[in-house]
Structure 1
Amino acid sequence: MKLSTMLKSIGLNVNLKKDFEVSNLAPLQEAKQNDISYIDQEKYLNDLSDSKAGAVLLRHKHIDRVPSHIETICVDDPHLIFAQLSSFFAKPQFSLAASHNDSKIHLESNQNIGKDTIIMPNVFLGNGIKIGDNCLLMPGVVISDNVKIGDNCKIYPNVVIYANTQIGNNVFIHAGSVIGSDGFGYAHTKKGEHIKIEHTGCVIIEDNVEIGANNTIDRAVFGETRIKKGVKIDNLVQIGHNCIIGENSLLVSQVGLAGSTTTGCNVVMGGQSGTGGHIHIGDFTQIAGRGAVGKNLPPNTKWGGHPLMELDEWMKFFVILRRFVKKKLPSSEG
């Protein structure tokens, strides 16, 4: 669809210097000449000079920062317009496909199943899938279109894997987990209405990863959500869109990671700890249980509490707090 047609369909009448067939929405660093990007925060303005985007959505006050090769679309709220345009690029996650409702396997011509792989009854397999050797898919598993699964994987009952997910070798995904679902992203109108941002990216899970029961790992807005090799994830963990979890990291039960959180290798996050969005946690860093991460953390450090403190400081603070509270409480004697 032409850029001008898209803009008119959402009520924008813009005088374009050039019009073109739009391929996709993309971040500035990855956008190509037929892609649209947007800037909602001033810190990303510096990325404009090297961007190959065909057009960019941004506020009127930043128009002078746009190079001549990029079509400028000035709007009051770039994030909202981006959300409205994202509806043109929504991808179906589940299409008509072959479902195995008994012990007999009837594969479509575009379904590639490896040697010694066992598919138990009541497994749904989408089109264009590829599953490696020596895998086991247990009852109630749903594998959507164009999913790739490596060798020696176990997918436990009632796991749902959305379209275009890529899974490496020796991966275990326990019962009830959902891989590749929508990220939680909305823009907001002046009336307070919530406009859905369509997520067109994917999830990539590397080798030797184990994912516990009832996890949710959201696909990216664009690009990828990636779980790197050797990561071990406990039950009931939420990983938001565009997160990257570094090699050999450990996420304990009820950890929650907001969108675009990234970690280095061997990070440990205790139970019920979590992050805000766009946070980076350095290599070999540890977060104690219920720690609330609201800032980037350097490597080889330990943290805890809310507000977050270095762990030694938090423990000292907690001891002092308990003593203070104890002194203030009325005596139970008499």
Structure 2
Amino acid sequence: MSKKFTLEELARFAVCDFSGDPRHVITFVNSLESAEPHEVSFLANPRYRDLLASTKAGIVCIDTTTPLIEGKNFLISPNPSKTFQIITDLILSTNTSGFENIHPSAVIHPSACLAEGVAIGPHVTIDQKVTIDKGTKIYGNVFIGAGVSIGENCIIYPCAVIREHCTLHHRVILQPGAVIGSCGFGYLTDPEGHHHKIPQLGNVILEDDVEVGANSTIDRARFKHTYISKGTKIDNLVQIGHNVTLGKDNLIVSQTGISGSAKTGDRVVLGGQSGVMGHLEIGNDIQIASRGGVSKTVTQAGQYGGYPLQPLQEFHRHRVYLRNLEKYVKRIEELENKIVLLEKKLYS
């Protein structure tokens, strides 16, 4: 069930001022256009300020320059988007799936260690010597392999798989269908051309506040670890190869592929459908545009795009040239014809 919060309680939690009825109660969040009296919304862009008069939202997060409207309830802060996010996180943390304890259909090995308050949904499988810390929620049909360690306040959504000996630190989120610790793509090809599987003996480590999107896969290392550092967010349908190391606060957008043993620094952004070859490095504060191909080490901070990779402004300039290529060809043909005529006149 959803927990109820008053305006005064939300202001205290978000450390901000308020205006209106301190006892007004809300239970959820919504947009300005769609919010009802039991919901919180926010105004971040002044161009939508006219919506304040018509919104049905019970509480609106606004900045300190927005005029108050009599009869409405406001949370007032320098950054209403941040305030709204704080409240959203609070409300979502108190909304439950309906399975607050351990569902009777879950299969849990006797040697597994579950902290008090861990929630386990229907048809979850937990293998031997798994440890799960307090506040973590495991939704239905999740598989957790032997020796896995999961920290506090993690959320594992339905049908995710965490294979043996992988480690999740605190507040990790796995969206539905995410696979952590699948075998790395490693094969030995013999002289006859037959491929023989190389055992992948390492694991995957996800640090605090990592999120892995739906149907994304992070392969286990051949030895040691595939390592995803604190705060990194991985979109849906991403493939991360064995022994990859991602730095802190990376953003990896959908359909990106990162080959084995590649390494990124901190605050790296890989746009959708990017590709990163194995055994190279991407430095701190580098952004790769969608469909960018990283085929060699890049260390200079900045924005890049295209394949082969080049500075983004240069990449856009080259695209303009390509769009005008037909014009250039025609122009060159015209100039060549003029040169032929001039040569005929000159030598006639």
Same structural fold, with TM-score higher than 0.5 when normalized by the shorter chain: yes
Flag as ranges the 4+ runs of structure 1 deviating above 2 A: 100-109, 325-329
3-state SS, counterpart of residue 115 of structure 1: coil
Give the number of aligned pairs.
230
What is the TM-score with the length of structure 1 in the denominator? 0.66
Aligned partners of 1:107, 1:306: CA distance in 2, in Å? 48
Q: Show structure 2 runs of 5+ residues with no match.
A: 1-100, 331-348
Q: Which residue of 2 aligns with 1:220?
A: 221
Aligned partners of 1:106, 1:257: CA distance in 2, in Å? 34
Residues 147-177 of structure 1: per-residue CA shift (max 9 Å, x gap): 0000000000000110000000001000001
Shift of 1:279: 1.1
3-state SS, counterpart of residue 324 of structure 2: helix
Q: Show the 5 A alignment for 1:36-185.
A: 103=104, 107-185=108-186
Q: Which amino acid aligns with 2:272?
A: G
Say if 2:230 is the partner of 1:261.
no
Q: Which amino acid aligns with 1:164?
A: H
Q: Which residue of 2 aligns with 1:325?
A: 326
Indicate if the aligned counterparts of 2:103 and 2:120 stay in contact, CA closer than 8 A.
no
Q: Show the 5 A alignment for 1:248-327.
A: 248-327=249-328
Question: Structure 1 283/224 Cα, relative in aligned 2: closer, same or farther at 3 Å?
Answer: same
Indicate if the aligned counterparts of 1:101 and 1:123 stay in contact, CA closer than 8 A.
no
Shift of 1:277: 0.8
Aligned partners of 1:183, 1:104: CA distance in 2, in Å? 32
Shift of 1:299: 3.6
Q: Which residue of 2 aligns with 1:92?
A: none
Residues 188-241 of structure 1: per-residue CA shift (max 9 Å, x gap): 111111111110000000001111100000000101000000000110000000
Q: Which residue of 2 aligns with 1:189?
A: 190
Shift of 1:325: 3.3
3-state SS, counterpart of residue 289 of structure 1: coil
Aligned partners of 1:156, 1:105: CA distance in 2, in Å? 15
Matched-pair identity in %: 43
Aligned partners of 1:114, 1:326: CA distance in 2, in Å? 69
Larger CA Rg, structure 1 vs 2? 2
Indicate if the aligned counterparts of 2:107 and 2:123 stay in contact, CA closer than 8 A.
no
Question: Structure 1 107/294 Cα, relative in aligned 2: closer, same or farther at 3 Å?
Answer: closer
What is the TM-score with the length of structure 2 in the denominator? 0.64
Q: Which amino acid aligns with 2:141?
A: G
Q: Which has the higher contact order (CA 8 A, sep 6+)?
A: 1
Indicate if the aligned counterparts of 1:101 and 1:122 stay in contact, CA closer than 8 A.
no
Question: Structure 1 308/160 Cα, relative in aligned 2: closer, same or farther at 3 Å?
Answer: same
Q: Which residue of 2 aligns with 1:232?
A: 233
Q: Which amino acid aligns with 1:223?
A: K
